[in-house]
Structure 1
């Protein structure tokens, strides 16, 4: 259950103001029907969570306990640094004529592949040696983090996203550093 709650919370947080959330907001504005777009986002997020969780379990069988701790610490560190780094502009896929479901599915799949959330899911699955709970928690957390962008679209711009990104980024970076030092035996 810890793996579920950890991935749920962390993946929801790292979506805040992220390019994936901005893409969802842009696609929500572009397509008048949020239902098909939401289905595409849910499917893409589920696929990314499954790839991360299953990959994490495989990696978890190959490496030692200290390396697993370091892998998890690096996932948090990179997620934190990613939240602190300036965002590149997001391509809103204006030339895609695939409709809301396919545009949401393919656009989010491409954007999420190898992203912070997937790395957190993989590291949690590796550490827990369980793929089910990290998959479900990561999937739910990602959808929970992206749903407000689909629902509230342009109003998202008025939310205090930057302070949340900075605070969460500093917290995750600090936690990642502390866990990395502990895994390496320096602390």
Structure 2
């Protein structure tokens, strides 16, 4: 159950400082009558990518000591914190894509999510737990906790939020958590 809750919190923190909700809001504005399909597509894209991350964690876990697993999580959180702190450029609006609301949203978001910071964090969480799939489920729920409101309010209102402040706060929490976990892993605190 720890992996589920950790994944939920970390998923929300990582995605809050990401371009993914921005793209989801753009797609929701384009497909106003099919916002439910955009939400379903986002859920599928997140779950698929974070399951791949968890699979990576399952594969690497037997090769690592418990301390190394803690250091992997610490490193992934520090890198996620650094990544969240960078300025974001606007995502591609996918205007040329003609796959319909579900296809465009699922494929566009899946491509954007593939290899993102939370996928690495999900892998590191999965490597540390006896129930690795809960890390992917928690990460998906946490990401959706940020993306669904972006879809509901649309791009203009999403962009009006204090996104820079959100990114700085997310970066600070992720980085500090990574440092603390890393120091605990090597028994310095």
Q: Shorter-chain TM-score: which interval?
A: over 0.9
The number of equivalent residue pairs is 187
Consecutive unaligned residues in structure 1, runs of 5 or more: none
Taking the aligned partners of 1:52 and 1:129, their CA distance within structure 2 comes to 15
Deviation, structure 1 residue 61: 1.4
Matches within 5 A, 1:35-46: 35-46=36-47
Task: Report the equivalent of 1:169.
Answer: 171
Matches within 5 A, 1:146-161: 146-153=147-154, 154-161=156-163
Deviation, structure 1 residue 135: 1.9
Taking the aligned partners of 2:100 and 2:21, their CA distance within structure 1 comes to 19
Contact 1:57 / 1:130 at 8 angstroms: preserved in 2? Answer: no
Q: What is the SS of the residue equivalent to 1:15?
A: helix
Contact 2:46 / 2:143 at 8 angstroms: preserved in 1? Answer: yes
Taking the aligned partners of 2:132 and 2:143, their CA distance within structure 1 comes to 16
Contact 1:8 / 1:142 at 8 angstroms: preserved in 2? Answer: yes
Taking the aligned partners of 1:129 and 1:74, their CA distance within structure 2 comes to 20
Task: Return the TM-score normalized by structure 1.
Answer: 0.93
Consecutive unaligned residues in structure 2, runs of 5 or more: none
Is 1:15 matched up with 2:15?
Answer: yes
Q: What is the SS of the residue equivalent to 1:128?
A: coil
Contact 2:20 / 2:109 at 8 angstroms: preserved in 1? Answer: yes
Runs of 4+ in 1 over 6 A off after TM superposition: none
Aligned-residue RMSD, C-alpha:
1.5
Task: Report the equivalent of 2:68.
Answer: 67
Task: Return the TM-score normalized by structure 2.
Answer: 0.92
